[in-house]
Chain A
């Protein structure tokens, strides 16, 4: 997942990094193919250089040390709103076939079965980045037909929805799971683009909460290279994010 996440980052991208696994994906991309990528963190950090120590949260002191800028949240969010962020990462409890994400409520919001933590900056990234990638465990309770609550807006109910509701740009470009990489077609819906080594199409179909389509050329997700694995182990020697 970390390697697949890192490969979504193109050299020169401005990336809204977010929480958890993408912290390591960004560190990996900066050390391999995307050395000039710029990282945004919603607590107000802008980084050109990767942090010198493993980050457990975006607010850890190593993320401030050597930062390009430390500013207000509204400053980085403002640049996101202005259209300067190429890619954002979002985690989620549930994502649906249109890339809509729920991190707020399972069940009726006035009487929730489970109260999830909420948006954080996720809904802002989904609303305003040029593209966003969802990182999530592959489980039928997580990849669902339709989310019951849209915290972070994806393609809504189809390809023209974002424009209709007034969102200025963007939308989901990939869902990276523990079993596969899904991408989005012209119909605004996710399809399986590749299956991670060790998984089968049948298993991925069973673990997806809707009748998911597969790309005609759906093959295996490329294995991590020796260099990528070496850098991940160097950045995260205890395997905090990868074990």
Chain B
């Protein structure tokens, strides 16, 4: 293998592995580890007619919808966790602005089960959730059924297989190995279900570092299409052990994007007018960025993997 293995720049990774019309899973650890840098590059490259897959996604999906990249969402919740509603999502769902949006509603559990079904290679998984909820009424992807063993009422959740799954992690190696820790939500099942996987890492380490702790690996390295080194790439979301969540950024976004003009200006300032994450962090400013940095260490006790 080339010494750089699967290492690509963000621009190359999105160019090569995200196509117009793809179903893209991202924002899979809920409020943490959201791959904002990858989403911003998708916006810069003007990808179109994407299907976005993710449980709650925070403001990332709202940004992609506002930029006109999205034709359909498969999600449990889209908005702004700090402020509530996402204005771009509302404009698209209520008025078709900037484009009409098809919405495939899920709960967090059913989207997790759909991705697990995709990961396990079965057409559906059953649940006892959402019986009687209007989310499942007439839905093509959620169908009523019964247990063949005890006649219990069930809901069958159709498998979800993303064309590409994007995960943000603490560290990865050039061969596609990666370690992630903290709250991971549906990251593992989405990375197993995706046809292609893009790993965005805060830090690139030697493959031996990853191999030293195989229980912490999110997805088998052979499934990974690209590894992107993008420090700070999850801001304003948090990365355990590296930086905290920038709560004010979400509040500012909420205020600024209330009108289409405000949204346009926000996108120009933070995405379209910048050439990548380094410029974004420079614009954020050193003092604001360093205030979010984790300073203390709370290291896990080592574990012994030796076989001899």
Give A contacts to B, CB under 8 Å.
19, 41-45, 56-61, 63-65, 70-74, 77, 80-81, 104, 109, 112-124, 126-128, 149-153, 156, 161-162, 165-168
Asked, given contacts A43-B32, A104-B135, A123-B130, whether A115 binds B186 with beta carbons under 8 Å apart, the answer is no
Complex CA–CA separation, A178 to B79 (angstroms): 24
Apart from A60-B238, A72-B184, A115-B90, 7 more pairs, CB < 8 Å: A41-B183, A60-B32, A72-B188, A77-B129, A115-B89, A123-B135, A166-B154
Cβ B108 vs Cβ A77 within 8 A? yes
A188 CB to nearest B CB, Å:
13
Binds A, one of B161-169, B199-207, B240-248, B270-278: B240-248
Q: Which of B105, B106, B128 has the most CB of A within 10 A?
A: B128
Chain B residues lying within 8 Å of A121, measured Cβ to Cβ, are 76, 107-109
Within 8 A of A (CB), among B106-144: 106-110, 112-113, 116, 127-135
Cβ A70 vs Cβ B182 within 8 A? yes
Chain B residues lying within 8 Å of A123, measured Cβ to Cβ, are 107, 129-130, 133, 135
Give B contacts to A, CB under 8 Å.
29-32, 55-56, 75-79, 81-82, 84-86, 89-90, 93-94, 103, 105-110, 112-113, 116, 127-135, 152-154, 181-186, 188-189, 237-238, 240-241, 244-245, 247, 294, 298
Chain A residues lying within 8 Å of B133, measured Cβ to Cβ, are 119, 123, 126-127, 150-153
Counting residue pairs across A and B whose Cβ atoms lie within 8 Å, the total is 184
Asked, given contacts A74-B189, A167-B132, whether A119 binds B76 with beta carbons under 8 Å apart, the answer is yes
Contact of A64 among B78, B105, B127, B182 (CB under 8 A): B182
Cβ A120 vs Cβ B185 within 8 A? no
A115 CB to nearest B CB, Å:
4
Complex CA–CA separation, A188 to B90 (angstroms): 33
Complex CA–CA separation, A118 to B113 (angstroms): 17
Contact of B247 among A45, A56, A115, A124 (CB under 8 A): A56
A42 CB to nearest B CB, Å:
5
Chain B residues lying within 8 Å of A61, measured Cβ to Cβ, are 32, 182, 238, 240-241, 244-245, 294
Cβ A167 vs Cβ B84 within 8 A? no
Asked, given contacts A81-B127, A81-B129, whether A151 binds B30 with beta carbons under 8 Å apart, the answer is no
Complex CA–CA separation, A118 to B84 (angstroms): 11
Chain A residues lying within 8 Å of B84, measured Cβ to Cβ, are 117
Asked, given contacts A57-B245, A73-B112, A127-B130, whether A117 binds B86 with beta carbons under 8 Å apart, the answer is yes
A158 CB to nearest B CB, Å:
12
Complex CA–CA separation, A171 to B135 (angstroms): 17
Asked, given contacts A43-B31, A61-B244, A120-B77, whether A74 binds B112 with beta carbons under 8 Å apart, the answer is yes
What would 14 A/B residue contacts be, using CB atoms closer than 8 Å?
A43-B185, A58-B31, A59-B30, A60-B238, A64-B183, A74-B109, A117-B79, A119-B107, A119-B133, A120-B56, A127-B129, A153-B130, A156-B132, A162-B132
When C-beta atoms are compared, the residue in chain A nearest to B32 turns out to be: A59
Complex CA–CA separation, A128 to B113 (angstroms): 15
Complex CA–CA separation, A58 to B55 (angstroms): 14
Q: Which of A60, A63, A73, A115 has the most CB of B within 10 A?
A: A73
Chain A residues lying within 8 Å of B107, measured Cβ to Cβ, are 119-124
Complex CA–CA separation, A71 to B185 (angstroms): 7
Contact of A59 among B128, B152, B183, B294 (CB under 8 A): B183
Cβ A43 vs Cβ B129 within 8 A? no
When C-beta atoms are compared, the residue in chain B nearest to A82 turns out to be: B128
Complex CA–CA separation, A149 to B245 (angstroms): 33
